[in-house]
Structure 1
Amino acid sequence: MKIASPVKGIVVEDLFWKKYKDIVADEVIPYQWKALNDELPDTEPSHAIENFRIAAGESSGDYYGTVFQDSDVAKWLETVAYSLRDHPNRELESQADEVIALLGRAQAADGYLNTYYLLKEPNKQWTNLRDNHELYCAGHLIEAAVAYYETTGKAELLNIAEKYVSLIDSVFGPEEGKLKGYPGHEEIELALVKLYEVTGKEPYLNLARYFIDERGRQPIYFIGEKERREQIQTEPSWNDDHHLNFGLGFAYQQAHLPVREQMEAVGHAVRAMYLYIAMADLAAKTGDAGLKQTCEKLWEDVTERKMYVTGGIGSAVNGEAFSCGHDLPNDSMYCETCASVGLAFWASRMLHLEPDCRYADVLERALYNGTISGMDLDGKRFFYVNPLEVNPFQACRKDQEHVAAERQKWFFCACCPPNLARMIASVEDHIYGQTEDTLYAHLYIAGTMKTFFQGNEVEIRQTHRYPWDGSIELRVDAAKAVDFDLALRIPGWCNNARVTINGETLKLDHLEKGYLHIRRTWSQDDTVSLELPMPVERLRSHSLVSMNQGQIALQRGPVVYCVEETDNGSNLAALRLPQESSLEIEYDEQLLNGIVKITAQGYRIQSSAALYSSDAPQRIPQSITAIPYYAWCNREKGEMRVWIHEI
């Protein structure tokens, strides 16, 4: 394995991503703080902070919210930690410190920390791993603790997490007398690897390995757990058996087979992503070639058969799950924001295992499309479901009632907004990867990074207007001449890329897994110029994606486009884009926070008044305007579609 570790200490100065990071710092974090404290008017209450106050004995009342409500607080803390890297804020840090102190006061003497069980079912801890998310919440607490420690150097939350993990390690494992269980919702596995990375403590890695290896083994743990629970349970689980697993069996939790025997992505898409991330992490840490091979098989299934053009995954509303290959409906699909965020994280982890353009291309696709579509441009409204088509009939259809035509202020199940916020706040963690002698540029996000080769400091500054312009400059500054390999990703969407060093053109006749490797002695002011032509591309689906036949999707660079009613009128299904139509681009700084829009001359078909007719429809000339998919629904509410009929 060629492990390429992520590079830390990057300052983002990017036209596109700095705007998003500023919004997270200035708007999303304060907004979500209000949500967690039930201070948003006409919004579903969260009660998440209040649950901890009650658990600490500092307030009275009953537990409120989903069984995983604690995770919203943890993800808020994690987002704060990442944001403090480039947006220092003493008041915010003090606020976070107060929350951490509250968590410490709520923690039980033995280390246990889950407000649902502390308040609602205090004698039933570890009795419903299948449904009740104890270990999932613990995982998010661990991730927050690691992030906050790495950013601030403060160890209070890390100590709280380690105390909790010590308890968990005493409860679960292969040893006699321990429970042989694993979480119904994966998350703690990847978090334990992070905790191992920051502490170097081997038991954390061993516990992650145990949870991964135990999943899906016979007899299935959840069967015996349910039998034991029925002997003592006095009230139904929140996820009662009427809809448990949504008819998917244990595949819903990826527990149908041992993980190394899983060759197809099944079940709840977010759970699958978190499991696959942990598997990739464990393979990287242990050199487990078999686990790496399993990850590659699952990657192939997800990205070649079950992924939308936007980087959305999980097409079935039933179970928020993967369906069979090529079943990718546009109007009744699910594509939870959390699932695309998970896909981006998994792609980044696969890049750690092996730098390969196929992983970076999907990372980029998810980042610029299916993730950030989950939030409006001012950071105050959110999508849980990310459709590729919104039409006038959805309000009448039971199978599409989950598809919202506009973003919501908050959700009772509010996993997506904080998940998206932590991804944006830490986007710099995915830009570069480094081995002993090679620096990989996975993403083109403008800013400055510093690293070391052979003990010598190297600074690299990216400058450009990506994703709207493909002219990229990387200035390499080494105070002392140093040898290393700079590997530039040539995106899969790009043809005819051009690269020069200090004005000298390089040949691109040999790429290694999609990367151009430049091996040389670098010194001060070496400049690499990269030209990535960005013509508008017409994408077409595999013939098995039946609902997309005869239609095209527009993509320019990494950005996928859509048409909206506000630009093109109602009944978007009547639009026709001729194959010979020229696709014009224009950067509009005032539109939707600054975008490149696409225009073309096309038609609107107009049929006779009859429901069915043998008459050919008329073609009415019409200008068609397309905007980036991520920016839809930031103006008037209305129809939207990604796939446009072509003639």
Structure 2
Amino acid sequence: MKSEIVITDQFWTKYTKLIRKEMIPYQWDVLHDRAGISIDKERDDHGIPSEKSNAIENLKIAAGQKKGNHYGWLFQDSDVYKWLESAANSYALNPDDNLLDMMNEVAQLIEEAQDEDGYLSTYYQIERPDLRFKRLFESHELYCAGHLIEASVAHFKATGSKKLINVSEKFVNCISEHFGPEEGKINGADGHQEIELALVKLYEVTGKKEYVDLSSWFLKIRGQDPDFYTKQLIDNKKKGLSTGPIPHINTKYHQAHQPVLDQEEAVGHAVRLVYMAAAMAEVASIHNDEKMFAAARKIWDNIVKKRLYITGGIGSTVHGEAFTFDYDLPNDTMYCETCASIGLLFFAKAMMKNEIDVEYAEIMERTLYNNIISGMALDGKHFFYVNPLEVDPKASKNDPGKSHVKPTRPSWFGCACCPPNVARTLTSLNHYISDVVDENLYIHMYQDFIGSFDMNNQTVSVSMTTDLPYNGYTKVKVSDVSKRFRLMLRLPAWIKNYELNNTDIVYQEEEGYLSIDIDSDQTIEINFELPVLEWRSHPSVKNNLDKVAVQRGPFVYCLEEEDNGSELHLLSLVDMASPEEKTDSILGDFVVLKGKAERRLKDASWKNFLYQSELKLDSKKQEVIFIPYHLWANRSKGEMIVWINKK
């Protein structure tokens, strides 16, 4: 079913404009090493290469245009590919000759850097061609290939040029020559999942089913031999290709500890897990693979029911950027990587291709409006890798266990996966608004848009105008209707009540959606009531006991030191006041939430004591001001909390 959607929403076009005007040119300069910035060593790890990006330079060296050594991570190429994908998405929204010239320059460079046999990975081309595909636990060769493919697809859709599609198909042919079940081929997968998702996208524009089959094979071979990566290293040593001790490989980190179809928990590196699970759902929908979908659903359920932050973040520990165990959701040492939430968005949308479940839409919205857009500053030039739910700048500076938790967004990273990932995601939001299933048109996301949908042998025009995300009035206009179909409008979990202005419309609630039969042109007006919600955690989440998180509409809110003073842990919420619309010189237009709280006082008796057994606990009343979580850290460096004590 074909759908064409153009987002006109003021909230989101602000971001796409920021990406077009600021992020893409800024990241272009970073990749060319001329941005004049200090690159952050996330996690304060001095082993992280952060003198420069060198990503474009690496491609020039591989292409023979310059001489030199590779610099940066093994996956440095992926920064260029994700930039290209975001540029292509942005060009599709707003064609621009200058941007086209930049893309053409990169496309030509990529084509020239590719080896004759199709191989393309600058580190191994420049430094170690003898180790091609021989250190898969860390090489990221197929990970980078995946991002190249996704960039190629976006470039083709935006420009009509097949230059990079040809590069990608040539690379996939090279991969197919080396990987597979046949004798003499490599019987394993890349340590970082990504190629599996990309092959599905390449299939969608070429129609070549063998790409989905290869994706399915990469998924199913993972974990069949948990010692695969170690065996590769042993073989390299026997052949004299490496020296020194063989490192221990944590197979759970790679989700390679058991076959994918047998995995039931979200374990290991969070980004890898959700990229893998999203690919599982994509392949399941195309192959009608019930076992693959069932395995993906088990992973999904484990995440959203036991390992998901209220902001839509995932990944409870900096160690391995990973999941830990059920209900382990610390607020000040967690990871909640921006890329991981983007992967969760991919996962939710892919699951929709197998079944419509309102829970997928709720998670898409939660992670998008909170954790994902928290990953970029309002200037488009500063970014979070980690998205904490509690921050104290003193702890970030002085506690080695919290050095990854930043109180302000750095301008760039030594491992720069997140900034271009945000850009490519926010320029493709039209893919997440709706789904057509049989004679049903599902609208999952509430944004201003204009769309046309091919369904039931007709092309239907649908437009939405809404006051959301801050207020609840929404109008949906349906036209060009010649045959009956059902319009399914999501009933968000954060509404209290709703009212249709059209008294003659027949509707019913159906599995989280408002179902309306449409047999002629129709205009539907809805008023959603947006209460202030106070969420509590499952009792097993130790860090949030006797605390609440505040939400209105799709936004989770937080307290900042800027508005409420320091030592936010001394505050206890008493009750909430009515929401107020506000315009801030930095934060722009938003709805602020205010409440009454009590602040525990520290009197003079504590001057010489760390502990006391008998004392009077005094407090004073204080107004507290909540702002949407995604806006935090745009004004000043200070404390921030999402979960507040509740009286």
TM-score w.r.t. structure 1 length? Answer: 0.95
Deviation at 1:285? 0.2
> Who is 1:183 aligned against?
190
Whether 2:263 is the aligned partner of 1:256: answer no
SS of aligned partner of 2:253: helix
Write out per-residue CA displacement over residues 316-346 of structure 1, whole angstroms, 9 at most, x where no aligned residue. 1110000101000001111111001111111
Write out per-residue CA displacement over residues 112-149 of structure 1, whole angstroms, 9 at most, x where no aligned residue. 11111110111210111111100000000001111111
Deviation at 1:42? 3.0
Write out per-residue CA displacement over residues 233-259 of structure 1, whole angstroms, 9 at most, x where no aligned residue. 66679xx966x55xxx20100001111
- Structure 1 range deviating more: 88-97 or 589-598: 589-598
- Structure 1 range deviating more: 406-415 or 226-235: 226-235
> Who is 2:642 aligned against?
642
Whether 2:515 is the aligned partner of 1:517: answer yes
Match of 1:214 among 190, 197, 221: 221
Whether 2:539 is the aligned partner of 1:558: answer no
> Who is 1:440 aligned against?
442
Contact 1:497–1:533 (Cα < 8 Å) also in 2: yes
The CA distance in 2 between the partners of 1:160 and 1:596, in whole Å, is: 48
Q: Tell me the amino acid that sits aligned with residue 511 of structure 1.
A: E
Deviation at 1:209? 1.0
Q: What runs of 5+ residues in structure 1 fail to find an aligned partner?
A: none
Write out per-residue CA displacement over residues 6-61 of structure 1, whole angstroms, 9 at most, x where no aligned residue. x6421111121111111111111111101100111133310101111111111122
Match of 2:531 among 535, 551, 555: 535
Contact 2:498–2:529 (Cα < 8 Å) also in 1: yes
Q: Tell me the amino acid that sits aligned with residue 257 of structure 2.
A: H
The CA distance in 2 between the partners of 1:556 and 1:393, in whole Å, is: 30
* Structure 1 residue ranges (4+ consecutive) displaced by more than 6 angstroms after TM superposition: none
Q: Tell me the amino acid that sits aligned with residue 405 of structure 1.
A: P
Whether 2:583 is the aligned partner of 1:589: answer yes
> Who is 1:22 aligned against?
17
Q: What runs of 5+ residues in structure 2 fail to find an aligned partner?
A: 40-51
SS of aligned partner of 1:376: coil
Q: Tell me the amino acid that sits aligned with residue 450 of structure 2.
A: T
Match of 2:74 among 67, 76, 84: 67
Contact 1:357–1:492 (Cα < 8 Å) also in 2: no
The CA distance in 2 between the partners of 1:218 and 1:456, in whole Å, is: 50
1:194-213 to 2 correspondences below 5 Å: 194-213=201-220
The CA distance in 1 between the partners of 2:582 and 2:295, in whole Å, is: 45
Whether 2:296 is the aligned partner of 1:315: answer no
Deviation at 1:522? 2.5
The CA distance in 1 between the partners of 2:544 and 2:355, in whole Å, is: 33
Whether 2:632 is the aligned partner of 1:632: answer yes
> Who is 2:49 aligned against?
none
The CA distance in 2 between the partners of 1:218 and 1:457, in whole Å, is: 49
> Who is 2:47 aligned against?
none
> Who is 2:29 aligned against?
34
Deviation at 1:506? 4.5
Q: Tell me the amino acid that sits aligned with residue 305 of structure 1.
A: K
The CA distance in 2 between the partners of 1:120 and 1:232, in whole Å, is: 18
Match of 1:131 among 131, 138, 141: 138
1:355-434 to 2 correspondences below 5 Å: 355-391=356-392, 392-434=394-436
The CA distance in 2 between the partners of 1:185 and 1:175, in whole Å, is: 23
TM-score w.r.t. structure 2 length? Answer: 0.95
Match of 2:87 among 69, 77, 80: 80
Write out per-residue CA displacement over residues 41-97 of structure 1, whole angstroms, 9 at most, x where no aligned residue. 133310101111111111122111100000011101111111112211111012101
The CA distance in 2 between the partners of 1:404 and 1:397, in whole Å, is: 12
Contact 2:496–2:531 (Cα < 8 Å) also in 1: no
Deviation at 1:542? 0.6
Identity value in percent: 43
Q: Tell me the amino acid that sits aligned with residue 576 of structure 2.
A: S
Deviation at 1:507? 4.9
The CA distance in 2 between the partners of 1:338 and 1:61, in whole Å, is: 31
The CA distance in 1 between the partners of 2:302 and 2:145, in whole Å, is: 30
- 1:202/1:505 CA distance change after superposition, 3 Å: closer
Q: Tell me the amino acid that sits aligned with residue 638 of structure 1.
A: G
> Who is 2:6 aligned against?
11
Write out per-residue CA displacement over residues 261-280 of structure 1, whole angstroms, 9 at most, x where no aligned residue. 00001000000011001000
Deviation at 1:163? 0.4
Contact 2:268–2:322 (Cα < 8 Å) also in 1: yes
Deviation at 1:232? 4.2
Write out per-residue CA displacement over residues 578-613 of structure 1, whole angstroms, 9 at most, x where no aligned residue. 1xx232211113351211110112221103332323
> Who is 1:101 aligned against?
108
- 1:396/1:43 CA distance change after superposition, 3 Å: closer
Q: Tell me the amino acid that sits aligned with residue 588 of structure 1.
A: K
- Structure 1 range deviating more: 70-79 or 434-443: 434-443
